[in-house]
Amino acid sequence: MKSKGLTKVDLIFESVDSREVLVKAFSMTNEEIINQVLESGLKGRGGAGFPTGMKWKFTAAEKDPDKYIVCNADEGEPGTFKDREILDRAAYKVYGGMAIAGKAMGAKKGFIYLRGEYRFLLPQLYLELHKFHKMIAEIGYDFNIEYRMGSGAYICGEESALFESIEGFRGEPRNKPPYPTTSGLFSKPTSINNVETLVTAMMIIAKGPQEYVKLGTKDSRGSKVFSISGDTPIPGIFELELGMTVQEFVNEFGDGDTKAVQVGGASGFCVPRKKFEDTIIGFEGVPTGGSMKLFNSSRSMYNVLHNYLDFFAEESCGQCTPCRVGCQQLLKGVEKVKKGESKSTYLNELVKLADTMKVASKCGLGQSVGNAFKSIVENFREEIIY
């Protein structure tokens, strides 16, 4: 695997004349916009990595005149705080990205689902929104954005749970199919995109897709905003090209004693030191919504695992058996093994359970618990047992 090397990029926070970009977008046809996004190779920046151009294309193809563009600002993955920063510093680009998406798909209405923990941002977000609506009206484009607040539920970051929450229900993920592009918010065709994805899309239209294609790798085009925390001398937000190895990442951000990097938050993978060289940060290696946590040798990986499992047992919506009960079993299981009340071989049974959760859970939460579980248990077994 050839690494791209670690390169800092300034795309998301770069200033642009929003009005100029939007006028340019509105002069393009819907197909042109979608083709540019497809050409750029942009994949969802929230963590799931679905090709953005494809999502917009599917939604555009639906015949229903009522469609929605939804911005997923429910950033809840532990270790992810980049969307907060983007909203704080470049909300106008989020709105602009939504307007462009709306144009491409024929959606006149946009919703931003903002997590309750970020409520303090609202006054300034509304100021920006007011300016945006004024500008849009001056350009003569019919598009309106509304905020809907979350109230403390990680699972509402899952697309269909998010729709349920806006519609006034518990955030319980739905059966799929139908998929959101066919039947999403209020059962209408919906494209739901991450904050960063929408900003990136706007920049792609502003600068042209070729600029974006230059960055990243074949499978992981472009750059990504990373939120870096843990045992690092320089925690914070950094925009980097995709395709570097974890080793290169650690060289830049580690504190000299990094023993593991959790890529992708609690639902991501734990990469141990021995795999730093061979692991690419990108969709072809370990994907991430941006969360990067570094652990040095003073940290107990048992504590890390326990913290993640406790998180999931609490945040699971509770509707499906593998996740609701599975999370509790994994949590209690590692506790018992640590205390010596269960044999260490019980961990093997739990790994099999994690595999079942991966294939039988109703949504991404249950399906991802096994990622952290297996990667920590397999690479740090001794710390779990002793």
Partner 1 sequence: MYNTGDMVKELADKYGRKRESLMPILQDIVKKHNFLTDEAMVEVATELDISAAEVYGTASFYTFLDTQERGKNVIRVCKTITCSMKGKNDIISTIEEILKIKVGQTTPDKMFTLLETNCIGWCHKAPAMLVNDMPYTDLTTETVIDIIKGYMRK
Partner 2 sequence: MVTLKINEQEVKVAEGTTVLDAAKKLGVIIPTLCNHPDLCVAGNCRVCVVEQKGARTLIAACAMPVSEGMDIHTNSLKVRNARKHIVELLLSEHRADCTKCYKNQKCELQALANEYSFGEHLFLDLVEDHSYTIDRSSPAFIKDDSKCIRCQRCVRTCSQLQHVSAIAVANKGSHMKISSFHDRPMSHVVCTNCGQCVNRCPTGALTEKTYIDQVWDAIYDTDKHVVVQTAPAVRVALGEDLGYDPGERVTGKMVTALRQLGFDSVLDTDFTADLTIIEEGTELLTRLKKVLVENDHTMALPMFTSCSPGWIKFIEHKYPKMLPNLSTCKSPQQMFGALAKTFYAQKRKIDPAKVVSVSIMPCTAKKYEADRPEMRSSGFKDIDYVLTTRELAVMIKQAGIDFRTLEPGQYDSIMGTSTGAGVIFGATGGVMEAALRTAYEIVTGRPVPFKNLEIMPVRGMDGVKEATIKIEGTTEEWRFLEGAELKVAIAHGLVNANKVAKAVSTGKATYHFIEIMACPGGCLGGGGQPIPTNAAVRQKRMEAIYSEDIHMDLRKSHDNPEVKAIYEEFLGTANGHKSHELLHTHYIARESY
321 binds, among partner 2, partner 1, none (CB under 5 to 8 A by kind): partner 2
Closest to 202 measured CA to CA, from 93, 45, 111: 93
Q: Which stretch binds partner 2 (CB under 8 A): 4-12, 17-25, 95-103, 356-364?
A: 356-364
For partner 1, which is the closer residue by CB, 216 or 230? Answer: 230
If one asks whether residue 208 binds partner 1 (CB under 8 A), the answer comes out as no
Beta bridge partners of 238: 226
In a 3-state reduction of DSSP, which class is residue 297? coil
What is the CA angle 289-146-133, rounded to 5?
105
Q: What is the closest distance, in whole angstroms, from the C-beta atom of residue 268 to partner 2 in the complex?
A: 17
In a 3-state reduction of DSSP, which class is residue 299? coil
If one asks whether residue 367 binds partner 2 (CB under 8 A), the answer comes out as yes
Residue 305 has which token pair? 């695992």
Contact 330, 309 (CB under 8 A): yes
If one asks whether residue 169 binds partner 1 (CB under 8 A), the answer comes out as yes
319 binds, among partner 2, partner 1, none (CB under 5 to 8 A by kind): partner 2
| Residue in the block written with tokens 């395709």 | 243
Pick one of 124, 187, 297, 307: the residue that binds partner 1 (CB under 8 A): 307
Taking the C-alpha atoms of residue 200 and residue 325, their distance in angstroms, rounded to an integer, is 38
- 256-295 footprint of partner 2 as x/- string (CB under 8 A): ----------------------------------------
Q: What is the DSSP letter of 186?
A: G
Beta bridge partners of 190: 68
- 303-342 footprint of partner 2 as x/- string (CB under 8 A): ---------xxxxxxxxxxx-xxxxxx--xx--x-----x
Q: What is the DSSP string of 26-67?
A: HHS-HHHHHHHHHHHT-B-TTSS--BHHHHHHHHHH---S--
Pick one of 76, 254, 268, 290: the residue that binds partner 1 (CB under 8 A): 76
**Cβ of 213: how many Cβ atoms within 10 Å?**
16
Q: What is the closest distance, in whole angstroms, from the C-beta atom of residue 283 to partner 2 in the complex?
A: 14
For partner 2, which is the closer residue by CB, 97 or 150? Answer: 150
Per CB under 8 A, residues contacting partner 1 are: 75-81, 84, 115-120, 148-154, 165-171, 186, 227-231, 235-237, 266, 293, 299, 303-304, 307-308, 311, 314-315, 317
